[in-house]
Chain A
């Protein structure tokens, strides 16, 4: 045990090269004893299990019989896709799924467009009002949905946008865009200004520079923005449950019809949840490489 902690393979690093080794040895950044490695991987494995377990659990329960949630032990002996077949054929689930795709897709497109244009303007141009704009993006995050929901309902009703996909898309865009614009501004800040100048020298308008030069370079940032907008719309419950009628239920609202006040049909709920998870996970896998760089640019530079 003790020999394991002192004999680290990486001691040939910077410290070993110093002519006279210090009496008290200080461990460098990239050196790690076997024990520390075990601790590191152990911690990460436990954390990963905690992170993944709830998801794994609903996948597990969804594969069992109707009563699986009461007796999880029976699942392994009775694996079947019955719950999925039932959800897809005997309920309105496909209908809700379509509604959610329209709403989340619309929110993503609108959100990315609004966030990118605003983020670019704030990042590149010093115009009167740009400080206030950034501040108001932050303030928008503070508006409690409970105070907005009643007036918003009346406003949308006036434009005939209640029980309408466009109404919900616009509402979600207001939730997602402020944070996204903040992120995009940070990301644009990391793109050198020389590129804009080169574009201008070549005779591009500010819009042309933005569209032809900057947008292609900002893909990681745009990917994170898209991910964030998509998830905002895909998982929102409160607005959707108040604004949409039974014909236009989104998944988040529709799935609640499986659970009545007294009891929940967990077999259906878990199977439906797993199907809902799939698109979110796909979008996530597509952007996860960009997540760290795209998000942080916004964090460090704001």
Chain B
């Protein structure tokens, strides 16, 4: 046993030495808080009963273990928020990721052709990625202002009705999806463009010799060739969009009815507005993590199956 350990140490010590910094940082700053968060989710901790200092007086924590009560109140629908938030989170994730991939793919296909001014187009199209999210969101907030915003002027100019974008729940939902699509397309476009460039040219030449139409070439050469990239991009896109905080929180600010809140922003509000409900927020966090873990395990398994088929 010990010799086996020593053997593998001698063989792998430099590999372990190279991953050690990452492992240590992640373990301390992610695993520990996660464990602590899980612990909080089993208690009834809130702003009124955690340890705190009031002047020189130190009030010890008085919260206690409540077992799985928090989970039960969420999953049974008793808190009245979870299922509406979950439904909207799924609608939000699916629409955002679908639009990201569709638009990103379209633009990548166009950019992958020989043409003039290609570099200029590419630089302009990647621009929203280079803009820090909060600046992009501020710009949109300014444009979407119901009274003075330029966006309403633009859509009324083409005959669409003006909307109170940042106030009515439905318009809010359309607005956050729109802004998130604007922010997210460049990443998908660049990843897919790289994927397109890695498809061997010979495949296209061969299919051309066989007289395949452009559509057939797209379905039979481009899509299968892009599969490794699309798999990764869809998986990451779903995870990131599901947990997207900045767009919704910053675009809608405080003047929201909560209708457009996804699970993550809802949990954040739980923890930091009104009487901070730490245990409730932690429970939401753990549930989100469980949902994403289940989704990505399922997704990876299906991906492996299609690769074998």
Contact = CB atoms under 8 A, between A and B. Distances in A.
Interface of A: 14-15, 22, 26-30, 32, 37, 40-41, 43-44, 47-48, 50-52, 54-55, 57-58, 61, 69-72, 113-115, 117-118, 120-122, 125, 127-130, 133, 136, 138-152, 154-155, 170-171, 173-174, 177-179, 181, 205-207, 210, 231, 234-238, 242, 252, 255, 261, 266, 269-270, 273, 276-277, 280-281, 283-285, 288, 291-293, 295-302
A60 B112 CA distance: 32
A174 B285 contact: no
Contact of B19 (A58, A122, A138, A283): A122
Contact of A40 (B110, B182, B282): B110
A275 to B, nearest CB: 10
A177 B285 contact: no
Given A237-B246, A296-B194, A140 B30 contact: yes
A57 B139 contact: yes
Interface of B: 8, 12, 14-16, 18-19, 21-23, 25-26, 28-30, 32-34, 36-37, 40, 107, 110-111, 113-115, 117, 120-136, 138-140, 142-143, 145, 147-148, 150, 182, 185-186, 190-191, 193-195, 197-198, 204-205, 208-209, 211-214, 217, 228-229, 232-233, 235-236, 239-240, 243, 245-246, 249-250, 254, 263-264, 267-268, 270-272, 278, 281-282, 284-286, 288-289, 292-293, 296
27 contacts: A15-B208, A29-B214, A70-B147, A72-B150, A127-B15, A127-B16, A141-B236, A141-B239, A144-B243, A146-B267, A146-B285, A148-B285, A150-B278, A150-B282, A155-B32, A177-B22, A177-B25, A231-B129, A235-B134, A237-B246, A237-B249, A242-B272, A273-B135, A281-B127, A296-B195, A299-B191, A300-B195
A40 B110 CA distance: 7
Contact of A142 (B186, B190, B272, B292): B292
A231 B130 contact: yes
A144 B236 contact: no
Nearest to A258: B138
A238 to B, nearest CB: 6
A61 B142 contact: yes
Given A118-B21, A133-B23, A266-B142, A292 B264 contact: no
Contact of B124 (A52, A70, A130, A173): A52
Contact of B240 (A118, A141, A177): A141
